[in-house]
């Protein structure tokens, strides 16, 4: 973290306000690109995701962020190894974050960084990696700039202002990365691997996408190719062929998957690093299963939809 830190106060808020707006009309400076945290010439190979929030576990909020992160990793050639959803519990956050950072090259957390009493992600991660908490002056400044014309924030009590400032109370050895000019909230990175994100899907998605230049990503030729074949044959009819096919292409690092649509048919997925080989196998599957190769957009449109999250 930069040297612009302010020791935290001991005040707390009994009725903290909603978080201030994060998308602004301001043109904030984006952070310079730091050195590769993994070391010169190295790139991210594996990843893990830690989704934090009681509201996810009790069904109040639908988790969209893990799916978005999975797509992000796949498109960039990162092997996403694990996604965990845990409660707003300090011990669970500490255990899971240490384990994931130890195992994977790139780890994200989502959720628990707001102004309320149960937003404990920053504090828990500080304990996890034996750091103190300090206010980050640049983040505080950007937050205040983004809300200075909003009457509802100007009229806040001292306790409410203190609650708001908790969103700039970071582990004091972290990197603070401002990844977009219209967002005052930074991505906070610990141990060169663990990136802390908000849980709000629109904000999570924009910040994750804008983080790309700050990450040592795999080279383009290491990114996988995926083709899908749709067949109207039932899954039980195609199972023997797919079993034989997977055994045949295992040594080539190609993965074969099948995903049925109820009473409609089956999508067969082929994933591998060799684009031409994947295309060759897709054409074989197309012929053997009386199917057709479909676009990612068509396959996506056929996925079962989920209801939007509710916030009673």
What pLDDT does residue 84 have? 98
Give the gyration radius of the chain's Cα atoms. 23
pTM for the structure as a whole: 0.84
What residues does each domain of the chain span? 5-214, 225-301
Q: Give the 3-state DSSP-derived string for the chain, with helices as H, strands as E and coil as C.
A: CCCCEECCCCCCCCCCCCCCCCECCCCCCCCCCCCCCCCCCCCCCEEEEEEECHHHHCCCCCCCHHHHHHHHHHHHCCEEEEEEEECCCHHHHHHHHHHHHHHCCEEEEECCCCCCCCCCHHHHHHHHCCCCEEEEHHHHHHHHHHHCCCHHHHCCCHHHHHHHHHHHEEECCCEEECCCCCECCCEEEECCCEEEECCCHHHHHHHHHHCHHHCCCCCHHHCCEEEEEEECCCHHHHHHHHHHHHHHHHHHCCEEEEEEECCCEEEEEEEECCHHHHHHHHHHHHHHCCCEEECHHHHHHCCCCCCCCCCC
What pLDDT does residue 304 have? 58
What pLDDT does residue 39 have? 95
User: What architecture is domain 5-214?
Assistant: 3-Layer(aba) Sandwich (3.40)
Distances (CA, A) of 189 to 176, 266, 292: 6, 41, 44
What pLDDT does residue 21 have? 67
User: What architecture is domain 225-301?
Assistant: 2-Layer Sandwich (3.30)
Are residues 193 and 98 in contact, defined by beta-carbon separation less than 8 angstroms? no
Q: What is the pLDDT of residues 31-57, one digit of tens each?
A: 999 999 999 999 999 999 999 999 999
* 10-residue averages of pLDDT along the chain (312 residues): 46 48 82 96 97 96 96 95 98 98 98 92 98 97 87 82 93 97 97 97 97 96 92 95 97 95 91 95 97 88 52 32
Q: What is the pLDDT of residues 149-186, one digit of tens each?
A: 777 777 788 899 899 999 999 999 999 999 999 999 99
């Amino acid at each position: 973290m930069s040297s612009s830190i302010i020791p935290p106060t001991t005040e707390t808020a009994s009725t903290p306000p909603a978080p201030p707006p994060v998308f602004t009309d301001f043109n904030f400076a984006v952070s310079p690109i730091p050195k590769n945290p993994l070391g010169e010439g190295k790139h991210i190979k594996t990843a893990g995701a830690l989704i934090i929030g009681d509201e996810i576990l009790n069904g109040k909020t639908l988790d969209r962020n893990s799916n978005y992160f999975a797509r992000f990793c796949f498109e960039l050639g990162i092997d996403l190894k694990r996604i965990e959803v845990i409660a707003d519990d300090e011990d669970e956050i500490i255990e899971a974050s240490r384990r994931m950072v130890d195992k994977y090259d790139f780890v994200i957390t989502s959720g628990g960084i707001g102004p309320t009493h149960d937003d404990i992600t920053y504090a828990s991660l500080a304990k996890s990696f034996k750091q103190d908490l300090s206010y980050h002056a640049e983040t505080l400044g950007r937050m205040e700039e983004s809300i200075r014309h909003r009457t509802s924030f100007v009229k806040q009590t001292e306790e409410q202002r203190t609650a708001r400032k908790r969103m700039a109370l970071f582990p004091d050895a972290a990197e603070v990365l401002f990844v977009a000019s219209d967002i005052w909230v930074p991505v906070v990175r610990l141990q060169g691997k663990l990136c802390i994100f908000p849980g709000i899907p629109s904000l999570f998605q924009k910040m994750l996408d804008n983080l790309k230049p700050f990450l040592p990503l795999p080279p383009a030729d290491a990114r996988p190719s995926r083709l899908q074949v749709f067949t109207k044959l039932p899954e039980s009819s195609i199972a023997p062929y797919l079993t034989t096919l997977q055994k045949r292409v295992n040594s080539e690092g190609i993965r074969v998957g099948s995903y049925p649509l109820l009473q409609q048919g089956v999508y067969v997925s082929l994933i591998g690093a060799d684009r031409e080989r994947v295309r060759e196998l897709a054409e074989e599957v197309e012929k053997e299963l009386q199917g057709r190769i479909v676009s990612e957009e068509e396959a996506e449109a056929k996925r079962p939809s989920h209801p939007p999250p509710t916030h009673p």
